[in-house]
Structure 1
Amino acid sequence: MNARVEHTDVGAYALGLLDGDDQRAFEAHLSICRSCVAELSELSGVAGALTGLGPLEDDLPPSRDGEAEVIDLMRRKQRADRRARRGTVLIGLAAAVTLVAGGMTIGTQLGGDAAAPPVAAGHGDHQGPAEEFYADGIPVPGVGAGGVSGGLVLESKAWGTHAALKLAGVKGPLECELVSVSRSGERHVMTGWSVPRSGYGVPGQPEPLYMHGGSSVPLDQIDRFEVVTTDGEKLLTVDV
């Protein structure tokens, strides 16, 4: 087998873009790489949502509906320039799907009912992609309620806004969402997750939660970000 395994292949694997030796090599790589396993868990549900947009063939004409164009472009890019892919390409893809598929969002809605719980990075020496992004950026602190603390690292993208969240001082069981609120008051869910009973960043479970997500709204049009429960309770507000 001469397939070369790259950590950034996790996005292509989640979308089913790898085949033959590449797929087998990456599956073997997953058995020894905790970072790729963690990211694959965070991206769970993406492939299922995109599959629902319909099959694509290479010989289809270029003028098609928006959903097909997004996936076809990803597949063509994967075959043409595999090594140029970056780990954040899935965030961009998810945001593109948000724009063309009428409101689909990363996390809760992409995962559907079968979405896996998020991975809380920071255990031992391992850092997941969300924690790495947060550690490399300049956090904007948030104002929490009831002992909750955290912040966001923000990044402008051509497709909108990429954000990495750090959250601590929260106990479950809860279901939460990271929401962007535009200056006009429009709310967009960026990602969603479940908080187990043990919680994050609390006695007995000191590790905070790291998550990342995307919004189709440009950063300069966002007024604030909120972490809210599905019951409507506001846990954290980050003004920008």
Structure 2
Amino acid sequence: MTSQVEHTDVGAYALGILEEPDRTAFAAHLATCPSCTAELQELSGVAGALAGLAPLDDDRDDAGTVDRGPAEVVSLLRRRKAADRRSRRGTFVIGAAAAVTLVAGGIAAGTAISDKSGSGSVPVGHSAAHGPAEEAYRAGTPFTGTGAPGVTGGLVLETKGWGTHAALELRGVKGPLECELVAVSPAGERRVVTGWAVPERGYGVPGSPEPLYVHGGVAWEPAGIDRFEVRTSGGDTLLTVMV
């Protein structure tokens, strides 16, 4: 990755196993890549989830069991990654992390979710044919937002044990802009869900027809949210989604 930053290295970055030049380059890449930033949020707890798992192959002790802490597992993955440098970077790391979390049996692969109206939900077990934000959005039934002139979009909500996961689709915006998705309670309290930058070419506009997909989370449950707003750093509201 020293010659170019690869999006697939987000898994290696989350586990802390990139070498220093690669780690520095990827940290700079995160500042300009909403997709990798969002995926990093999802993977940030992986190292902690690896505690106490069985080894990946021949590392069992005489009793046939191993109790590994996160640091030991990360060390094992680092050695494996070094031996597999010719393969596509990051793919091995993400695959290994997925395999051991399935062995653990304590991490859900899908979540049955609901919301106040029966819409805006994501079914269990959706595939990963797209990026995580787009996949979550495509799998659900979105709440449709009301936008500023030319702006359209929608939001899919997913109830989590820690609060609410939100996946946003946004069209009709041109940059450069800095934006935030904000959750608003019935009492008017606001919490930032996620933020991103819109490049000059924009999203969902002539010459750049693809929409923007971002996702993030808020500690409130759906019942405690009145609406979501997409706002610019200058205070303009681009989209309002009532939930």
* Interval of TM-score (by shorter of Structure 1 and Structure 2): 0.5 to 0.7
**Identity, % of aligned pairs?**
50
CA contact (8 A) 2:182 2:191 kept: yes
Structure 2 counterpart of 1:78, one-letter code: L
- In the TM superposition, what are the counterparts of 1:129-140 in structure 2 within 5 Å? 129-140=132-143
Question: How far off is 1:83 after superposition?
Answer: 2.6
Paired with 2:109 and 2:51, the residues of 1 have a C-alpha distance of 16
Question: How far off is 1:17 after superposition?
Answer: 5.6
Match in the other structure for 1:14? 13
With the length of structure 2 as denominator, give the TM-score of the two structures. Answer: 0.56
Alignment gaps of 5+ in structure 2: 1-7, 20-32, 54-99, 112-128
Paired with 1:234 and 1:138, the residues of 2 have a C-alpha distance of 23
Change (3 A) 1:174 1:76: closer
Give the one of 140, 151, 154 matched to 2:154: 151
CA contact (8 A) 2:155 2:241 kept: yes
CA contact (8 A) 2:39 2:132 kept: no
Question: How far off is 1:161 after superposition?
Answer: 0.5
Paired with 1:138 and 1:168, the residues of 2 have a C-alpha distance of 17
With the length of structure 1 as denominator, give the TM-score of the two structures. Answer: 0.57
SS in 2 for 1:205: coil
SS in 1 for 2:49: helix
Structure 1 counterpart of 2:132, one-letter code: P
Point out which structure has higher relative CO (alpha carbons under 8 A, 6+ apart): 1
Match in the other structure for 1:223? 226
Provide the aligned C-alpha RMSD in A: 3.2
Match in the other structure for 2:169? 166
Match in the other structure for 1:83? 101
Structure 2 counterpart of 1:83, one-letter code: T
Match in the other structure for 1:184? 187
Question: How far off is 1:86 after superposition?
Answer: 5.9
CA contact (8 A) 1:151 1:166 kept: yes
Change (3 A) 1:76 1:172: closer
Between the two proteins, the alignment pairs up a number of residues equal to: 156
Question: How far off is 1:191 after superposition?
Answer: 0.4
CA contact (8 A) 1:12 1:78 kept: no
CA contact (8 A) 1:228 1:235 kept: yes
CA contact (8 A) 2:49 2:101 kept: no
CA contact (8 A) 1:224 1:239 kept: yes
Paired with 1:142 and 1:14, the residues of 2 have a C-alpha distance of 35
SS in 2 for 1:15: helix
Alignment gaps of 5+ in structure 1: 1-8, 24-36, 51-70, 90-125
SS in 2 for 1:155: strand
CA contact (8 A) 2:34 2:196 kept: no
Paired with 1:217 and 1:12, the residues of 2 have a C-alpha distance of 27
Structure 1 counterpart of 2:101, one-letter code: R
Bigger Rg over Cα: 2
Question: How far off is 1:127 after superposition?
Answer: 1.9
Question: How far off is 1:78 after superposition?
Answer: 1.4
SS in 1 for 2:202: coil
Change (3 A) 1:189 1:134: same
